[in-house]
Amino acid sequence: MAVAEEAGHARRSSPRADRKPFRLFHNLMPKIALIPMIATALVVFLGGTLWTVVYSFTSSGLLPRRNWVGLDQYERLWSSAKWIVSIQNLALYGIFSLVFTLVIGFTLAALLDRKIRFEDTFRTIFLYPFALSFIVTGLVWQWILNPDFGVQGVVRSMGWESFTFNPLNDPDIVMFGLLIAGLWQGTGLIMCIMLAGLRGIDEDIWKASRVDGIPTWKTYVRIIIPMMRPVFVTAVVLIASGIIKLYDLVVAQTSGGPGISSEVPAKYVMQTMFGGQNLGQGFAASTMMLLSVVIILVPWAYLEFGRRKRG
């Protein structure tokens, strides 16, 4: 062995290669390198969540305080008209958003998957809104749906004087005004995921169904969609977790109005926490949001990993 390498060895070699090192200090560097990640996971995500849940049982107002009031905050929450409206709005928006996003996303993907020309162009057009923020989305659609100059005004000026489409000022349909904007922003992503799912299906399936003489629509409904179950599950989880976080869009497009008719839970949390000096109420409301996520995620995780364990 060369002298130089001997020297190199001597400098670098661990002093006790024959002794089993103490577990924590063995390969110490990766552990040090992971400290930011571990701290984020444990302190911020786990610790922060527990903190909020714990303080939702206090009467904290301007500052967090540990005077326990049991479920008082939750009782107040569920007797607040604004919260009830928020929940109803979210449910309404959620159901329609989920159904329409899946249907539009899949349909567009299926159309794009039919060996068409300009596929890239169409894909670029359908996806670009996803690059924009909800603030931009909300403001554009606020302008397009403007009763005087937007869609309603244009149709009326063409002669149909009685035409009414004013979602942003009509408490009954304001959530649909938000839905139009939300779908515009988010369907492109789901289309992309669906398209990838369609591309993942063996081309021989199509050949087989052609040989068997099965009509195209039937192939989609009976064969392709069932095969794409995992893709749909992922899409549903993505859409659902996006719906619960709905906030920026409402702030930009309607500010919760008219009145409180387009309030959503996330906005309620923000107002009570940072606007209303009513922290305990905000904590209780955000804990309810957490609970709804758990209700969505747990069955999914159970299905997903239960099946994996069995299979």
**31 touches another protein by CB under 8 A:** yes
Residue selected from 161, 172, 203, 212 as contacting another protein according to rule CB under 8 A: 203
Q: Which of residues 41-80 bind another protein (CB under 8 A)?
A: 41-49, 51-53, 64
**Tokens (6 digits) for 200:** 């993942």
**225 touches another protein by CB under 8 A:** no
In angstroms, the CA 130 to CA 2 distance is 61
CB atoms within 10 A of CB 186: 24
Query: Given the rule CB under 8 A, which of 70-78, 92-100, 163-171, 262-270 is the region that contacts another protein?
Result: 262-270
**16 touches another protein by CB under 8 A:** yes
Minimal distance in Å, beta carbon 88 to another protein? 18
In angstroms, the CA 287 to CA 216 distance is 47
**309 touches another protein by CB under 8 A:** yes
C-alpha separations of 14 from 9, 19, 122 in Å: 9, 10, 60
Tokens 């444990």 belong to 42
**For 95-159, what is the HEC assignment?**
HHHHHHHHHHHHHHHHHHCCCCCCHHHHHHHHHHHHHCCHHHHHHHHHHHCCCCCCHHHHHHHCC
**223 touches another protein by CB under 8 A:** no
Contact of 72 with 59, CB cutoff 8 Å: yes
Query: Closest by alpha carbon to 235, among 307, 288, 300, 290?
Result: 300
In the complex with another protein, the residue whose CB is nearer, 45 or 68, is 45
Show the site string, 74-113: x = touches another protein by CB under 8 A, - = not: ----------------------------------x-xxxx
Residue selected from 66, 210, 222, 229 as contacting another protein according to rule CB under 8 A: 210
**302 touches another protein by CB under 8 A:** no
Residue selected from 238, 260, 271, 276 as contacting another protein according to rule CB under 8 A: 238
Query: Given the rule CB under 8 A, which of 66-74, 89-97, 167-175, 193-201 is the region that contacts another protein?
Result: 193-201
Cα radius of gyration (the chain): 27
Q: Which 3 state secondary structure label does DSSP give 58?
A: strand
**Tokens (6 digits) for 267:** 């906005």
Tokens 């905050």 belong to 73
In angstroms, the CA 230 to CA 170 distance is 39
Residue selected from 62, 81, 116, 295 as contacting another protein according to rule CB under 8 A: 116
Minimal distance in Å, beta carbon 259 to another protein? 15
**211 touches another protein by CB under 8 A:** no
Residue selected from 84, 98, 169, 245 as contacting another protein according to rule CB under 8 A: 245
- Site size for another protein, by CB under 8 A? 128
Residue selected from 100, 130, 165, 176 as contacting another protein according to rule CB under 8 A: 130
Q: Which of residues 163-182 bind another protein (CB under 8 A)?
A: none
**143 touches another protein by CB under 8 A:** yes
Q: Which 3 state secondary structure label does DSSP give 22?
A: coil
Q: Where are the beta strands (DSSP E) in the chain?
A: none
Minimal distance in Å, beta carbon 167 to another protein? 15
Q: How far is CA 222 from the centre of its chain?
A: 29
Minimal distance in Å, beta carbon 95 to another protein? 18
In angstroms, the CA 92 to CA 159 distance is 33
Residue selected from 69, 165, 247, 260 as contacting another protein according to rule CB under 8 A: 247
Q: Which 3 state secondary structure label does DSSP give 68?
A: strand
